[in-house]
Amino acid sequence: MTEATWQWDETLYAGSARHYSVGRLPYPPGLAEAIRSALDLDGTGRLLDVGCGPGSLTLLLAPLFETAVGVDADQDMLAEGRRRADGLGVTNVEWRHLRAEALPADLGTFRVASFAQSFHWMDRLLVARRVRDMLTPDGAWVHVGANTHQGVAGDDVLPYPRAPWPQINDLVASYLGPVRRAGQGLLPAGTASGEGEVMREAGFTGPTRLTVEQGVVVERTVDEITSAVFSLSSSAPHLFADRLAAFEADLRQLLTTAARNDRFAERRSDIEVAIWRP
């Protein structure tokens, strides 16, 4: 798909923020260690986390820097980030409400700019060029690729049933239609690909690639899988409008039937990291 096929709007994740902490699997500490080691981070410099959402990556990486700035276009996501920071005692993060396309926004320069599950929603070439100009000469762009709402598919034996994601997706489609929803628009071909070409056109070199291997099995509850569904742009609560209660009732019935003692098990997927240099 082309960059112009879909237009961002502020309802993209409307109603999803409160579901992130419950429904999304957290990034592992090993991710922070891998990034620290690859970039020789020593607690100095500044981090810019773009499209930070509720701070899932921001709060993991913030201790590696003197200060951090989390930028997002969704006010509720930022409020959740502040709440989580307070709960963790993280005090070196500033939260800014703005779209990535509005950068540099007088934010200054940064040692690292990070993106996690966010870049594909942006005017990528514009954002890449603007962020490149915000990096110090020895800085880096860190792109984290992960699937945090569900584990990997497989037929290996786990201690509890896997969450029935194919059936969940069918249920969402029965309410919202077969074409993926996103904000007020549709994504018939999915989100944009070809990140490498965009980054090189913007003047970056690389990437250096890291893999943070996980593979651990985690237990998840019906509540957690329910929140995982609502944490997605394609099934954000606002999309169901006055049918939200009916959808949630059907979803919970599906999950309760598939679970054992309210439990599922999923194997966490590996995390891929691409590091680009300005």
Q: What is the mean pLDDT of the chain?
A: 95
CA angle (217, 223, 225) in 5-degree steps? 50
Residue 278 pLDDT: 95
Q: Does residue 26 have a pLDDT over 50?
A: yes
Q: What pTM did the predictor assign? A: 0.94
Q: Does residue 1 have a pLDDT over 70?
A: no
Are the CB atoms for 26 and 56 separated by under 8 Å? yes
Q: How many separate helices (H) and strands (E) can be counted in the chain? A: 9, 11
pLDDT band at 193 (very low <50, low <70, confident <90, very high): confident
Residue 275 pLDDT: 98
3-state helix, strand, coil in the chain (%, to 5): 40, 25, 40
CA 109 to each of CA 69, 179, 218, 246, 270: distance values in angstroms, whole numbers, following the listed order: 11, 40, 39, 48, 31
Q: Does residue 2 have a pLDDT over 60?
A: no
Are the CB atoms for 190 and 201 separated by under 8 Å? no
pLDDT band at 214 (very low <50, low <70, confident <90, very high): confident
Q: Give 28-41 pLDDT, tens digit per residue.
A: 999 999 999 999 99
Q: At what angle do helices 222-230 and 165-176 cross, to 10 degrees?
A: 40
Residue 190 pLDDT: 80
Average pLDDT over residues 228-255: 98
- CB-facing half-sphere around the CA of 69: CA atoms within 13 A: 21
Q: Does residue 169 have a pLDDT over 70?
A: yes
Residue 117 pLDDT: 86
Q: How far apart are CA 49 and CA 44, in angstroms?
A: 16
Are the CB atoms for 170 and 273 separated by under 8 Å? no
Instruction: Return the percentage of the chain with pLDDT > 70, whole number.
Output: 98
Q: How far apart are CA 175 and CA 103, in angstroms?
A: 37
Residue 191 pLDDT: 80
Residue 163 pLDDT: 97
Q: Give 58-85 pLDDT, tens digit per residue.
A: 999 999 999 999 999 999 999 999 999 9
Residue 187 pLDDT: 84
Are the CB atoms for 59 and 40 separated by under 8 Å? no
Are the CB atoms for 19 and 231 separated by under 8 Å? yes
* Amino acid at the residue 125: L
Q: Which residue has the tokens 């992130």?
A: 20
Residue 4 pLDDT: 46
pLDDT band at 3 (very low <50, low <70, confident <90, very high): very low
